[in-house]
Amino acid sequence: MTTKTTGARKPGPKPRRFGEADPGMFAPMTSGQIGLVRALVNAGWFMTEAAHGCSELWFETAELLHDMHLAWEKALRAERRAVA
């Protein structure tokens, strides 16, 4: 007899902080460069979740994406001030 699985996933490990936010590591980049890298990392993040669920790597990548977003906002504000 074969059984059909429901496709439900087990919950992953609880999120934990992997360190304080460090958007400064992206400071040398422009908002456009950060946006491009963020889009690529984000695509990989979704693929990781689909393949492995909410693993430790998934949470680490979420932290990195958060830092990249903070750096993108800061770079965008600086670029807008430079134009004004």
Q: For residue range 12-69, what is the model confidence (pLDDT) as tens digits?
A: 555 555 666 677 888 888 889 999 999 999 998 888 888 877 888 888 888 888 889 9
Count how many domains the chain has. 1
Cα(14)–Cα(75) distance, integer angstroms:
31
CB 45 within 8 A of CB 69: no
Question: Which residue is associated with the tokens 């134009």?
Answer: 83
Torsion over CA: 57, 21, 25, 44 (sign): positive
pLDDT at 80: 92
- Answer whether residue 79 is part of any domain: yes
Q: Which residue type sits at 4?
A: K
- Answer whether residue 24 is part of any domain: no
- Answer whether residue 60 is part of any domain: yes
- Answer whether residue 66 is part of any domain: yes
Global pTM value: 0.67
Tell me, rounded to whole angstroms, the distance of Cα 15 from its chain centroid: 13
pLDDT at 11: 53
41's enclosing H/E stretch is helix 31-52
